[in-house]
Copies of this chain bind each other. A is one copy, B any other.
C-alpha cells in the first residue's frame, strides 16, 4: 500500500477505481455522437427532437444513445408537466463529478512508478530514437 502525493491510497495489483465501472463509463463516452450529445446537454436541457435536429439523427437513435448514457447515470430524463409527450434530457452533475474523480484517480500521472524491467537481460535501456533507422 502506498499513499500518493494527492492523498489517495494505492495498492499494487489493484487499480484505484473499480475497473468495471471505469470501463462502462469509457465505453459509453467513446462515441462521437454521444460526446456531441453530452456537449449539447452541457449547454442546457434538450428534448429528443432538439438533439435530433442539431445532430441530424432520427429520434429512435437519440433514444438509443440517451438510454446508454442514462444507464450510466450521466444523463437524466424528465417529462414535460404540461404535455407529457415531451421529454427533456439533462446532465446529472453528481454523476459527472464522480466520472471526473474516477478518471483522474486511474490516470493520475503521480501513479507512474520508476522503471523496473523485471524481465529480459536487465541491460541498460536505450531510447528508440537512438537506434539507427534501417
Contact = CB atoms under 8 A, between A and B. Distances in A.
Interface in A91-111: 91, 93, 96-97, 99-100, 103-104, 106-109, 111
Identical copies of this chain, number: 2
A44 B100 contact: no
Interface residues of A, number: 65
Contact of A19 (B35, B104, B131): B35
Interface in A1-55: 12, 15, 19, 22-23, 26-27, 29-32, 35-36, 38-39, 42-47, 49-50
23 contacts: A22-B35, A23-B30, A23-B35, A29-B30, A35-B106, A38-B107, A44-B117, A44-B118, A45-B125, A46-B117, A78-B126, A79-B128, A80-B117, A80-B123, A81-B123, A82-B121, A83-B121, A83-B123, A88-B120, A93-B112, A96-B107, A100-B108, A103-B107
Interface of A: 12, 15, 19, 22-23, 26-27, 29-32, 35-36, 38-39, 42-47, 49-50, 76-84, 86, 88, 90-91, 93, 96-97, 99-100, 103-104, 106-109, 111-121, 123-128, 131
